[in-house]
Amino acid sequence: MFNISVLQEPETLESAVAMLKADADLRVIAGGTDVLIRIQHGGDGWSRLLSLRNIKALEAISLREDGTIVIGATAPFAKIFLDPIIRKHLPSLAEAAVSMGGPQIRNVATIGGNICNGAVSGDSASTLFALEALLKLESEDGERIIPIHEFYAGPGKVHLRPGELLTAVLIPRSSYQGTGGHYIKFAMRKAMDIATLGVSVICRVQDGRFEDLRIGLGVAAPVPIRCAEAEAYAKGRPVTVATCQEIGKLAVKATKARTSWRASKDYREHLVEVLTERAVLESAKRAGDLHAE
Ligand SMILES: Cc1cc2nc3c(=O)[nH]c(=O)nc-3n(C[C@H](O)[C@H](O)[C@H](O)COP(=O)(O)OP(=O)(O)OC[C@H]3O[C@@H](n4cnc5c(N)ncnc54)[C@H](O)[C@@H]3O)c2cc1C
Q: 48: CA distance to ligand 1 center in Å?
A: 18
Instruction: Quote the DSSP letter at residue 110.
Output: B
Ligand 1 pocket residue status of 49, Cβ below 6 Å: no
Torsion of CA 101, 103, 108, 113, to 10 degrees: 20
Question: pLDDT at position 293, please?
Answer: 41
Q: Which ligand 1 atom is the nearest neighbour of the CA of 74?
A: 41
Per-residue pLDDT of the chain (293 residues; tens, 9 = 90+): 788 999 999 999 999 999 999 999 999 999 999 999 999 998 788 999 999 999 999 999 999 999 999 999 999 999 999 999 999 999 999 999 999 999 999 999 999 999 999 999 999 999 999 999 999 999 999 999 999 999 999 999 999 999 999 999 999 999 999 999 999 999 887 777 888 999 999 999 999 999 999 999 999 999 999 999 999 999 999 999 999 999 999 999 999 988 888 889 999 999 999 999 999 999 999 998 544 44
What Cα–Cα distance (Å) separates residue 252 from each residue in 127, 183, 212, 227, 282?
A: 18, 17, 19, 8, 19
Q: 124: CA distance to ligand 1 center in Å?
A: 11
What length does the chain have? Answer: 293
**Sheet containing 48-51: order of strands:** 6-8, 48-51, 27-29
Q: Whose CA is nearest to atom 27 of ligand 1?
A: 113
How do residues 157-207 score in pLDDT, each as one tens digit?
Answer: 999 999 999 999 999 999 999 999 999 999 887 777 888 999 999 999 999
Ligand 1 pocket residue status of 54, Cβ below 6 Å: no
Question: pLDDT at position 292, please?
Answer: 44
Per DSSP, the three-state class of 197 is strand
Ligand 1 pocket residue status of 114, Cβ below 6 Å: yes
Mean pLDDT, the chain, integer: 95
d(CA 146, CA 158): 12
Say what angle helices 241-253 and 265-287 make with each other, to 10 degrees.
140
Please name the residue ranges forming H helices in the chain. Answer: 13-22, 35-40, 77-82, 84-89, 91-99, 103-108, 111-116, 125-130, 173-176, 228-234, 241-253, 265-287
Integer-rounded Cα radius of gyration of the chain: 19
Question: pLDDT at position 6, please?
Answer: 95
Considering the entire predicted model, what is its pTM? 0.96
d(CA 153, CA 143): 20
What Cα–Cα distance (Å) separates residue 226 from each residue in 66, 140, 246, 276?
A: 26, 33, 16, 12
In terms of Cβ atoms closer than 10 Å to its own Cβ (0-12, 13-18, 19+), residue 202 is buried
d(CA 271, CA 239): 21
Q: Whose CA is nearest to atom 2 of ligand 1?
A: 101
Among candidate residues 171, 202, 192, 180, the one with its CA nearest the CA of residue 123: 192
Question: pLDDT at position 163, please?
Answer: 97
Ligand 1 pocket residue status of 30, Cβ below 6 Å: yes
How do residues 196-231 score in pLDDT, each as one tens digit?
Answer: 999 999 999 999 999 999 999 999 999 999 999 999
